[in-house]
Amino acid sequence: MDPAQLAALPDGQDLRLARGDALFRAGDPPLGLVLVHRGALELRRVSAEGRLIVLHRAGPGDSFAEASLFEPRHHCDAVATAPSLVTVHAAAALRRAAAADPSIGWRLAAHLAARLVAERARAERLAQPRAADRLLDALHALPEDDDGLRHLGRSWKTLAAELGLTHEATYRALARLERAGLVRRDGRGGVRLAGPPA
Amino acid sequence: MDPAQLAALPDGQDLRLARGDALFRAGDPPLGLVLVHRGALELRRVSAEGRLIVLHRAGPGDSFAEASLFEPRHHCDAVATAPSLVTVHAAAALRRAAAADPSIGWRLAAHLAARLVAERARAERLAQPRAADRLLDALHALPEDDDGLRHLGRSWKTLAAELGLTHEATYRALARLERAGLVRRDGRGGVRLAGPPA
């Protein structure tokens, strides 16, 4: 299930946020499931010792605060880090609708299962100690066009941040993969991948 | 929702696996939602170019293959990497039960939402380029007992692997955090954390 299908859930309300606006704060009663259309939000909390921890960075097409549907309070703050447009599906209304219509919980579960698969794959990728392994797995995860070309869809700098690498480490890893013949950069801003040497 | 509640889902069947046994293979029709009680399984697939990619490592208390409930085929192999005991909730039976009982999809969604929150937090932690930051966030995420002590619940070596760090890098980062006064190791195999310097 993709966000477009989730958007067909009942009782959605569109909200615009300025940079720095909080959508909710830790301790607030649950607002509901949030879909991001434009902009960027951070879910963060401050540990007992005063350390700021970012739990999630949500961009266009992402959902978040799903767990709040099932809990009495938010456990983190949601703050816009750029001007943003979101849809909020109110928790109480969604809960009532789901009690009457079994397809709602099932569709929600389908959406969450797809997000979980993607996040697990991301975490496994990030758990690889070698920068070249992380980068190669991330490139393999990119969709391939009919011509065998994979498009980054973002800058190398953004990809580096997603991989928990510095810009420099990413370029060094890319150069290593190119020398090994595993990755070929294409002039059109994409890459081609080769299989491991036979 | 915790795995104990998920285990109350209908039509569970217990299965024992030897090391190397495949529970399912990519392309198989969906087996169902799997709960791991003992042992370890890897979800993996081979990319078009022949590269083995591990999508998920599941241990006791984990669930996996949730997405297969909503899809016509498995997209990866599930292989036991140790002797394992799992419960499988058959996809077709669960789908039928969920169409009649709205609480099933909702409980499944609650379970998936909790798993998603945990995986997102793990990925954010892993995305931090500095080993000391990753380690400190992982320590902050540990539950604290009444006495302010946090228990690893696993070896430093296992924690290192989860953080995508070598054993050596983890010990260096730990030493750095101790010197900075942010972490104190406790003789009883736990740690105490301090706030950032005022």
Angle, alpha carbons A152-A119-A32 (nearest 5°):
110
Helix (H) / strand (E) containing A128: none
- Class of domain A3-126 as given by CATH: mainly beta
d(CA A132, CA B131): 17
Give contacts of A54 with chain B, Cβ < 8 Å: 124
CATH no. of B131-193:
1.10.10.10
CB of A70 within 8 Å of a chain B CB? The answer is: yes
Say what the pLDDT of residue A35 is. 92
Low-confidence ranges of chain B (pLDDT < 50): 1-3, 197-198
DSSP line for chain B: --HHHHTTSSSEEEEEE-TT-EEE-TTSPP-EEEEEEES-EEEEEE-TTS-EEEEEEE-TT-EE-GGGGGSSS-SSEEEESS-EEEEEEEHHHHHHHHHH-HHHHHHHHHHHHHHHHHHHHHHHHHT-SSHHHHHHHHHHTS-B-TTS-EE-SS-HHHHHHHTT--HHHHHHHHHHHHHTTSEEEETTTEEEE-PPP-
Give contacts of B144 with chain A, Cβ < 8 Å: 48
Say what the pLDDT of residue A170 is. 92
| Mean pLDDT along residues A130-143 | 86
CB of B110 within 8 Å of a chain A CB? The answer is: yes
Q: Which of residues 140-179 of A touch B (CB under 8 A)?
A: 140, 144, 161-166, 169
CB of A196 within 8 Å of a chain B CB? The answer is: yes
| Whether the Cβ atoms of residue B90 and residue A177 lie closer than 8 Å to each other | no
Residue A177 has pLDDT above 60, yes or no: yes
Which residues lie closer than 8 Å to B80 by C-beta, 6 or more apart? B17, B18, B19, B20, B21, B22, B23, B39, B40, B41
CB of A2 within 8 Å of a chain B CB? The answer is: no
**CB-CB neighbours of B162 under 10 Å:** 16
How close A65 comes to chain B (CA, Å)? 9
| Whether the Cβ atoms of residue B101 and residue B113 lie closer than 8 Å to each other | no
Instruction: Using CB atoms, pick whichever of A114, A119, A194 lies closest to residue B49.
Output: A194
Nearest CA in chain B to A148: B48
Instruction: Using CB atoms, pick whichever of A49, A99, A121 lies closest to residue B193.
Output: A49
* Least confident span in A84-88, A149-153, A187-191: A187-191
Q: How many CA atoms lie within 13 A of A40 on its CB side?
A: 6
**Residue-range domain boundaries for chain A:** 3-126, 131-193
The band of A16, judged by pLDDT with boundaries at 50, 70 and 90, is very high
Give contacts of B56 with chain A, Cβ < 8 Å: 120-121, 124
Residue A138 has pLDDT above 60, yes or no: yes
d(CA B68, CA A113): 9
A106, A107, A157: best mutation site toward chain B, by most B Cβ within 10 Å? Answer: A106
Determine whether the interchain pair B113/A66 forms a contact, defined as Cβ–Cβ distance below 8 Å: yes
Residue matched to tokens 């030493």: B175
Select from A78, A38, A43, A37 the least CA-distant residue to A57: A43
Query: For chain A, how are helix, strand and coil distributed in percent, rounded to 5?
Result: 35, 25, 35
Residue A19 has pLDDT above 90, yes or no: yes
| B3-124 to CATH, choices 3.30.420.40, 3.40.50.620, 2.60.120.10, 3.40.50.300 | 2.60.120.10
Q: What φ, ψ does residue B81 adopt, rounded to 5°?
A: -100, 5
Instruction: Using CB atoms, pick whichever of A104, A106, A193 lies closest to residue B49.
Output: A193
Determine whether the interchain pair B117/A67 forms a contact, defined as Cβ–Cβ distance below 8 Å: yes
Say what the pLDDT of residue A45 is. 83
| Mean pLDDT along residues A75-81 | 93
Q: A89-134: per-residue pLDDT in tens?
A: 988 888 898 999 999 999 999 989 988 888 888 887 888 778 898 8
Say what the pLDDT of residue A49 is. 61
Instruction: Give B20: exposed, middle or buried? Use CB within 10 Å, 0-12, 13-18, 19+.
Output: exposed
Q: Which of residues 7-46 of A touch B (CB under 8 A)?
A: none
CB of A118 within 8 Å of a chain B CB? The answer is: no
Residue A137 has pLDDT above 90, yes or no: no
What was the ipTM of the complex prediction? Answer: 0.77
How close A17 comes to chain B (CA, Å)? 23
CB of B97 within 8 Å of a chain A CB? The answer is: no
Structure tokens at A190: 């994409």
Q: What φ, ψ does residue B84 adopt, rounded to 5°?
A: -135, 155
| Whether the Cβ atoms of residue B109 and residue B94 lie closer than 8 Å to each other | no
Instruction: Count Cβ–Cβ pairs < 8 Å, chain A vs chain B.
Output: 178
Q: B120-177: per-residue pLDDT in tens?
A: 888 878 887 788 888 988 888 887 888 888 988 778 887 887 788 888 999 999 999 9
Instruction: Using CB atoms, pick whichever of B112, B121, B129 lies closest to residue A116.
Output: B112
Say what the pLDDT of residue B29 is. 93
Instruction: Using CB atoms, pick whichever of A103, A106, A119 lies closest to residue B116.
Output: A119
The alpha carbon of residue A133 and the mean position of all alpha carbons in its chain are separated, in whole angstroms, by 21
- Amino acid present at B97: A
| Whether the Cβ atoms of residue B31 and residue B23 lie closer than 8 Å to each other | yes
Say what the pLDDT of residue A52 is. 76
Q: What φ, ψ does residue B53 adopt, rounded to 5°?
A: -120, 125
Report chain B's C-alpha Rg in angstroms. 20
Give contacts of B104 with chain A, Cβ < 8 Å: 102, 105
Say what the pLDDT of residue A152 is. 84
